[in-house]
Structure 1
């Protein structure tokens, strides 16, 4: 498949690249020419996943033979860090600037989602979801946008939110508010940092097949129920989310900011 070069002059940092939507986004950004900071949590599992991702990226780079204004050098750099660590933001910025001299964009993908009944949610579980899904991205946004402002280059921040930020889910009462908080951050930062040429947008996936929700989908025939609600007849794939993210990262969306794109195959408008 031929791909455009719409990200050929962009350095994109993506959190949570080791699997799922983050991995698909890294691959799709590479196909469109970006240089990428591959963030992962830093444990043995994610290290192995990043190693295999690098092999896929090498294949893409050989096939596309992309040359940007950065030349032909390294196309990616990997960094392991817990995004809830206050130092993680600066570490990711330093990795980008150290490898490529700049950072132009950020994708907030890293997150956790543990299904639980409302009264079974513990204080620790709620706190962890907020720390990983909102507080970490908030401080990372501060670090990356400070660098972009210093560069005077403008940039794009894209957040992977969730359809549950605006619709209810009985098993995700502790998760949904964290994604709603991300949408609030997206809208307010679009206003606060627009004068610096920094755009903020979000995508809200519906049910998307990833390792995170595989067990939940296979329990009690839930997959069939969820698929029956989707006018397009199937659940989402990580690539379905990654492609719109590329649009928001690129100059094709240069006059788009403060928006939330729902990507759910039409499930949320299916009133039957």
Structure 2
């Protein structure tokens, strides 16, 4: 049985990493996909590859470009989904950046780009998805890819961790605000997942070994590790789950020692 049969799923930042892995699994589970990407040449090429992979699974997908920091990108994603597939059932806010930088000399432009990309754009994209779901009158599922960084600190992430905490809080408040419309809102909190966002940081063999040792399972996460949890929250199996936060971190958070 396919858990997302005939559901229309929008995923931001879906051209690579976690977003790509989630998109492919949603397709395997029967969904029709809107692949959100940056709109830049590299993002477009990667997104087209994901669309091709989904079509190879005999499923439908389109790509839509738009900077996640642009407050109007959410509207464009919703419009494309509705014009192509007629509805929106699931919205996954995944796009995000983490340009590591020290706190005391944080450039204003780095801070603002991170906040606009990770939180401000996400806020209005979630709003656009929620309004469409309300209009349809059949409920829906909104999922934000937050981070374990919503719960813990990082010296080189003082601009990043507040955005991920903000996404978690946004899902909690939206669960309350949108519950009357049967729109469920949940957050997924990945631990250290090996993607492009931390490739440089984890290129240090000692840092890599340390991060692996911090997890209960003794390994870093892979993008595919997020696919199942997101599909669950998107599906009717999670029909009574809203306002929840799901750690997907291999036991990193609980491993005090």
TM-score interval, normalised by the smaller of the two chains:
over 0.9
| Cα drift, residue 184 of structure 1 | 0.8
Structure 2: state its 5+ residue gaps: none
- Stretch deviating more after TM superposition (85-94 or 205-214): 85-94
Distance 1:7 1:25 in 2: 12
| Alpha-carbon separation, structure 2, partners of 1:50 and 1:174 | 27
Q: Are positions 1:140 and 2:137 aligned together?
A: no
Could you tell me the TM-score, scaled by structure 2's length?
0.97
Paired position in structure 1 for 2:23 = 26
- Runs of at least 4 residues of structure 1 off by over 6 A? none
Q: How does 1:46-61 map to 2 (within 5 A)?
A: 46-61=43-58
1:111-149 residue CA offsets vs partner (Å, 9 max, x unmatched): 111111111211111111110000001001111111111
Distance, in Å, in 1 between the alignment partners of 2:190 and 2:234 is: 17
Question: 1:211-231 deviations in whole A, cap 9, x for unaligned?
Answer: 111110012621000001111
Q: Which residue matches 1:231? A: 216
1:36 is matched with 33
Partner of 1:242: 227
Q: Counterpart in 2 of 1:194?
A: 179
Match of 2:65 in 1: 80
TM-score where L is the length of structure 1? 0.92
Q: What residue is the counterpart of 1:268 in the other structure?
A: 253
In 1, Cα distance between equivalents of 2:103 and 2:90:
36
In structure 2, distance between residues paired with 1:90 and 1:136: 11
Q: Which residue of 1 aligns with 2:97?
A: 112
Task: Report the secondary structure of 1:136's partner residue.
Answer: helix
State the shift of 1:50 in Å: 1.3
Q: What is the CA-CA distance between 1:267 and the residue it aligns to?
A: 1.2
Distance 2:241 2:186 in 1: 8
- 1:24-65 Cα offsets, whole Å, 9 max, x none, are 01101001000011110111101111122122112222xxxx
Say if 2:30 is the partner of 1:45: no
The answer on whether the counterparts of 2:168 and 2:245 sit within 8 Å (CA) in structure 1 is yes
Kindly provide the CA deviation profile for residues 230-250 of structure 1, in whole angstroms up to 9, marking residues without a partner as x.
111100000101210000000
Distance 1:219 1:118 in 2: 21
The 2-side partners of 1:215 and 1:87 are apart by: 31
Unaligned stretches of 5+ in structure 1? Answer: 62-73
Q: Match for residue 154 of structure 1?
A: 139
Question: How far is 1:251 from its partner?
Answer: 0.3
Aligned equivalents of 2:26, 2:7: Cα separation in 1: 9
Contact 2:188 2:246 in 1 (8 A): yes
Q: Paired residue for 2:195?
A: 210
